[in-house]
Amino acid sequence: MTTTSYLVIGASHRTCSGVVRDRLSTDEAEVAGMLDRLRAAGVGQAVWLSTCDRVEVQAVHERPNEAALAIAEAMADRAGLPTADLAPQLYTRTGIDAVRHLFAVACSLDSQIVGEPHILGQLKAAHRSAAGAGMTGPELEAVLQAAYAAAKRVRSETPIAEGATSLAAAAIQVARDLHGDIRRCGALLVGLGDMGALVLEGLREAGMPRLTVAAPVDRRAEAAARRLDGHFAPWADLEAAMTGADILVTAAGLGRYILTAPMMEAVLKRRRRRPVFVVDAAIPADVDPAVAGMDGAFVYDLADLERVALQGRVGREAATQAAWMIVDEAVAAFARDRAERAAVPAVAALRTHFEAERRRLLAGHADLDAASATRLLVNRLLHAPSEALRALAADGSGEGLAERAAAERLMFRLFGLDRLTGAALEETERDKDERREPGREVR
């Protein structure tokens, strides 16, 4: 019987730099082409998920190792890198580990900012794209729906989402303290990390009229600007765009400082030292620590915002632990359900076999009484497994003995022989006692 395995392969903020993720990233119009590439490589069920934090493929395949290689090659082509260079920066999960990873992603437990609300919507959008391309099937649908159910439980049963939203609210609070009416301010988002987008969305809801987006890949910045109903600034014009920003949010995480001290000094001079509120929402940091000491620059990182939000680390860790408990419960329930479903064909095949033997026996021995017929049927049904056990017993190798022991344990478990054997022994003892009674003939 052919079986399938769940598979996840990708690159995230945990495994590679923002530069590589930018080269791997795809916008909505490009996803169909990547799915076509995977289909041509023999991967028939797959979701291509591209976010600021990660680019990964969630798939189902009969041969997960072969599928992982095909997906890695497709990703390397996308990034313009040799597969051997990209492979060390990819993570691969198979089987139940892949399921747990997918659930964690859906629940925002694998995001840079645990609890951020965007990832579930991004996953559902990627799912819709895969379904539209004919790249989903019952196995992939089952695990995705189970992941969504786990995410709903995490959102409703834990306060984990409050952490991310409170950080954004804290940034808005500091912006108001510094600038007063933020409706007269302008903001610039540098990079496309989820926490940065969350702060910008909060500023938009708070009434800030001017939002601008810049990112190392201009096409991605343009798409984000449209989504945020803001303006786009080319990466080459970053310093000029910074000059007009009263609030500067960095969320690129390229592994190097984007906002250097000389750059900020030039920006502040052109602004005539009008204050700039800088939110470094990137991991690793985008802002040179020296910027914080400049007159007119007010730099807050995520830890600073957490303190402003009065969100105790112990409370957040407790919420995260509670969320992981829900994920682990959901993964176990999903695995149990799939195992039960997988057992149905085997049970059906066994029933069909037994029924066929019964019909053959009745056809050839219509004159037998019930006792003789059932005895003969039992002998026929036990013939094949008895021969198999004898063959295993005859194999004196360690492997043969281990296989025999495993087969016997499975047989006892499948047919409840532990209980039956105990009852049979009691019945045998009673028979012996009765045969020993005075006056009873022993044969």
Residue 443 has a pLDDT of 41
- Please report which confidence band the pLDDT of residue 209 belongs to, taking 50, 70 and 90 as the band edges: confident
The answer, yes or no, to whether residue 328 has pLDDT greater than 80, is yes
Of 16, 52, 107, 185, the active-site residue reads: 52
pLDDT digit string (tens) for 308-319?
775 444 566 788
Here the tokens at position 126 are 């990627």
Starting at the edge strand found earlier in the chain, the sheet holding 247-250 runs 231-232, 210-214, 186-190, 247-250, 276-280, 297-301
Write out the binding residues for NADP(+): 191-196
Residue 2 has a pLDDT of 44
Write out the binding residues: 51-54, 111, 116-118, 122, 191-196
- Please report which confidence band the pLDDT of residue 205 belongs to, taking 50, 70 and 90 as the band edges: confident
Please name which of 77, 72, 74, 103 lies closest in space to residue 89, comparing C-alpha atoms. 72
Domains, the chain, in order of start with CATH, read 5-157 (3.30.460.30), 163-312 (3.40.50.720), 365-431 (no CATH)
Residues whose CB is less than 8 angstroms from the CB of residue 407 and which lie 6 or more positions away in sequence, other chains included: 388, 389, 392
Strands (E), 133-193: 186-190
Question: pTM higher than 0.95 for the full model?
Answer: no
The answer, yes or no, to whether residue 183 has pLDDT greater than 90, is no
- Is 185 in the active site? no
* Sign of the dihedral through C-alpha 200, 203, 204, 205: positive
Write out the binding residues for substrate: 51-54, 111, 116-118, 122
Residue 46 has a pLDDT of 97
